[in-house]
Amino acid sequence: MYLSFKTLRYLKPVIFILLLIPSLFWTYQFLHNNLGVNPIEKLMHNLGEMALRLILFTLIISNLSQVKSLRSLQNIRRLVGLFAFYYVVLHLISYVVLDYYFNWNLIIKDIIKRPFITFGFISFILLIPLAVTSTDYMLKKLTFKVWKNIHKLIYLVALLAILHFFLLTKADKIEPIIYMAILSLLFFLRVLKFLYKKKYI
């Protein structure tokens, strides 16, 4: 099956709306106190998990777009990546504003003393240059080689985000382990591609 660039171009607005809806739905639920006994924690969890899933989805799209018939998927990779950043920002805002009420002293102590917060914060910082350089203008300005090297950070971002989620999860850790398995597979495929291009295999 061949997926055309034209088809993806028409689907972009639909994908945009589908990716936006969860944030609007969870915000509505939060404002109407429909997120359970700990609504702030539930909101942060939903936003953070959505961000992590979209980061992994971006990597999946990158790998699938290497297949000739699916090359058009590159058309939506940027959109999905920017929505991942959007959900990370919302996750961070809910932590800073709703959970800590802008208490920067406590937030800084949290980042330093609690490893899962440290991993999450570093992941966010590393995601910023990816979002900033996502435009065609920045691609041309940086050159493709530099741009590509910057965007390799997505693997480290994903790893830190998964570790953040793993340490945060108190009981059933199956879900973060599944995410780690997916990331490991995607990274392994990328290494295989590199070795093949260099004719090592």
Q: Determine the average pLDDT of the residues in 8-21.
A: 90
Tell me the average pLDDT of the chain. 91
Residues 124 and 164: beta-carbon distance below 8 Å? no
Q: Residue range 100-122: average pLDDT?
A: 94
Residue range 128-150, pLDDT digits in tens:
999 999 888 898 898 888 998 99
pLDDT score for 68 = 77
pLDDT per position as a tens digit, 66-104? 877 778 788 889 999 999 999 999 999 999 999 999 999
pLDDT value at residue 170:
83
pLDDT digits (tens, 9 = 90+) for 178-192: 999 999 999 998 888
Banded model confidence at residue 201, pLDDT cuts 50, 70, 90: low
Exposure string over 71-81, b if 16+ CB within 10 A, otherwise e: ebbebbbbbbb
pLDDT > 90? residue 176: yes
Number of DSSP helices (H) and strands (E) in the chain, helices first? 9, 0
Instruction: Name the residue with higher pLDDT: 60 or 191.
Output: 60
* Res. 2 pLDDT band, cuts 50 70 90: low
Question: Band of the pLDDT at 197, cuts 50, 70, 90?
Answer: confident
pLDDT value for 1: 53
How long, in residues, is the chain? 201
**How remote is the C-alpha of 129 from its chain's centroid?**
13
What is this structure's pTM? 0.92
How many structural domains is the chain composed of? 1
DSSP letters, 104-123, are HHHHHHHHHH-HHHHHHHHH
Give the Å distances, CA to CA, from 179 to 54, 96, 162: 11, 26, 7
pLDDT of residue 29: 96
Q: What was the pLDDT predicted at 86? A: 97
Backbone angles phi, psi at 44, to 5 degrees: -60, -45
More confident residue, 65 or 16: 16
> For residue 160, what are the domain limits?
5-197
